Amino acid sequence: MKILVLNCGSSSLKYQLIDMATEAALAKGLVERIGIANPRLVHEKEGAGKVTIEAEIPNHDVAVKLVIEALMHKDHGVISHIGEIAAAGHRVVHGGEFFTKSAIVTAEVKKAISECVALAPLHNPANLIGIEACEKLMGATPQVAVFDTAFHQTMPEKSYLYAISYGLYEKYRIRKYGFHGTSHYYVTGRAAAMLDKPIESLKLISCHLGNGASVCAVDGGKAVDTSMGLTPLEGLMMGTRSGDMDPAAVSFIMDKEGLTTKQMESLLNKESGVLGISGISSDFRDIEAAVKEGNARAKVALDMFHYRVAKYIGSYAAAMNGVDAVIFTAGIGENGIGTRLAICEYLGYLGIAADTEKNNVRGKEVDFSAKGAKVRCLVVPTNEELVIARDTLALCK
Ligand code: AMP
């Protein structure tokens, strides 16, 4: 059975076709610049290199059509008929309080996704457009929505409520939702397998450190707290996002700089974080290179990032009254050898100690804890597409 996994952004569409017999991706790709100048599709058949297809791509309907054509192409295709795609699984960023797990797309599900648009104005509309484009092109083929927020719905009130008027929660559902749920779910499951222990017996802290970054406390397989909030802006310092700060600083900056709410949102989401502090880049490879050349602001940006991740790990160890393993995943977590070591150095008091030799890996599952360390340290490459495909398959069986 083959499942098409789609992740639609406002001007992009990422996809993978996964063969569920082997759970291997047969093909994957990215449509970029949908609805703007110079759009293109970069498609890769497993083991056969990339092809770039340039075409008019005015909307997501055309993008999905091109993806299906690429998947059926005589040279770089992997299927001969659209009917070979048993189902499509869609990443949906915000499921609000409606969804605690993935769902087959129905009219009610689409209505609930659109009711969450106010909570994720950049993402949910694009996710819905992708679902509707597939519905038009794929007829009765089942569509499944997999939510970034669903895994975090097990958080107790004491974790997810903000200490503001309860009436605002009741009126607008203002609360912590959390994101990267499929990633935290996948890596904590893999961690239990690596440790050869039932997940129900483990206290895990998952650090998804990519351009967007979040930490999640998972007790007995259930998320009990997470660093992202109502939106993906809260929590860690990120590539271009500020993460935690005093909310009073927001109105102060708006007053002083004469900024509108949109401009302020853009400043906090796109011009802050590692980019804002370093003034160089949001990309950790550029920052590490600048640090080597003696750039002081790049150094402070990197130090802040490490320090803030370590503080979250410490606070989540307290929240769970213990921790068995800390997991590092996503671009920086999987590849940032120095970053992992720097974070672990803060955490000796918890019983965390890294083995520098074992830590010397990129993009591979490894337990890099020093011999005898009380808390295990793991690298687990994430695979959100596989979680989406598995959930899709489970709901369509
Ligand atoms: P993601 O959003 O998960 O794709 O992660 C993107 C981030 O991972 C960027 O900041 C990259 O600089 C970082 N990254 C990717 N490869 C490396 C590497 N080899 N060393 C350090 N950071 C890396």
Give 76-130 pLDDT, tens digit per residue. 999 999 999 999 999 999 999 999 999 999 999 999 999 999 888 888 999 999 9
pLDDT at 122: 81
Quickly name the fold that domain 2-147 has.
Nucleotidyltransferase; domain 5 (3.30.420)
Residue 335 Cα to ligand 1 midpoint, Å, equals 7
pLDDT at 175: 97
DSSP annotation of 274 reads: H
Which residue's alpha carbon is nearest to atom 4 within ligand 1? 331
pLDDT at 181: 97
**Residue 20 in 3-state DSSP?**
coil
Neighbours of 54 (CB within 10 A): 9
In testing the pocket of ligand 1, which one of 7, 228, 285 has its CB within 8 Å of the most ligand atoms? 285
pLDDT at 10: 81
Residue 233 Cα to ligand 1 midpoint, Å, equals 19
pLDDT beneath 50, residues of the chain:
none
Q: What is the mean pLDDT of the chain?
A: 96
Residue 140 Cα to ligand 1 midpoint, Å, equals 39
Q: Is 181 in the pocket of ligand 1 (CB under 6 A)?
A: no
Q: 145 is written with which tokens? A: 């929505």
Q: Is 284 in the pocket of ligand 1 (CB under 6 A)?
A: yes
pLDDT at 266: 94
- DSSP H helical segments within the chain, as ranges? 60-72, 107-115, 124-138, 157-160, 166-172, 181-195, 247-257, 261-270, 273-278, 284-292, 296-319, 330-335, 337-345, 384-396
- β-strands 13-19, 2-8 pairing: antiparallel
What are the domain boundaries of the chain?
Answer: 2-147, 197-379
Angle between helices 247-257 and 261-270 (to 10 degrees): 120
Residue 60 Cα to ligand 1 midpoint, Å, equals 28
Same fold for the pair 2-147 and 197-379: yes
Pick the CATH number of 197-379 from 1.10.3720.10, 3.30.420.40, 3.40.50.150, 2.40.110.10: 3.30.420.40
Beta-bridge mates of residue 17: 4, 27
Beta-bridge mates of residue 344: none
Which residue's alpha carbon is nearest to atom 15 within ligand 1? 331
